[in-house]
Amino acid sequence: MKRTYRRLAFLIALLALVVDQGSKYGMFRGLYDGTFRGELEVVPGWFRFTAEYDPDRPHTEQFFAPLQKANGPVMPRVNYGALFGLGGEHKGTANYAFAGVSALAALGIVFWVTRRHTAEDRWLCFALGLILGGTVGNLYDRLVFHGVRDFLYFYKIEWPVFNVADCCLVVGAAVLMLHAFLTPSVPKTV
């Protein structure tokens, strides 16, 4: 019986989720200074942490209220859309549509990782773990905050603001693509 890497995939996913949510809660709580935008210069002239707030959006009084209030005294301004704000102008509709896609993708990845052939491939499990962690991190935001919290900003090149979950998705997809091109195909036996 070959060694499996399912645990690796789920451990990477959990680590990515914890780092993503920890960084979001930490940044939005830590950068709040009573204004609509908090910033911390990281690389002068290039990169900063930025957190925008929406004082017109009240915290909910429902199930997610404690999770929203842990983020800070004011609700964050969120990205309702997806990559580069795609669909963001449709707010609630886009958020729920992308939440549905994220939930289906997460379930698909969990199923994929549980397959024997996949579980025996370390790099494939590593990539899927990153993608799963990033997907669940942004799904959490969509459910709790009704959009995704972003705070990483390369303003020198005017790159759209993003977050750690987005980084996990991109790196995971890159590893998955490299894996697809660099892994020799196994001939099928008839």
One-letter amino acid identity for 166? D
| Residue 94, C-beta contacts closer than 8 angstroms, at least 6 positions apart | 80, 81, 82, 87, 88
Distance CA 90, CA 93 (A): 6
Q: DSSP secondary-structure letter at 75?
A: P
> Partners of 134 in the beta sheet?
none
Task: Let me know: does 175 contact 127? Beta carbons within 8 Å.
Answer: yes
Distance CA 181, CA 52 (A): 40
Supply the DSSP string of 76-101, one letter for each residue: BP-B-SSGGGTTGGGTHHHHHHHHHH
Whether 150 is catalytic is: yes
Token code pair at residue 24: 């979001």
List 20, 121, 141, 166, catalytic entry? 166
Whether 54 is catalytic is: no
List 20, 121, 141, 150, catalytic entry? 150
Q: Which residues carry out catalysis?
A: 150, 166
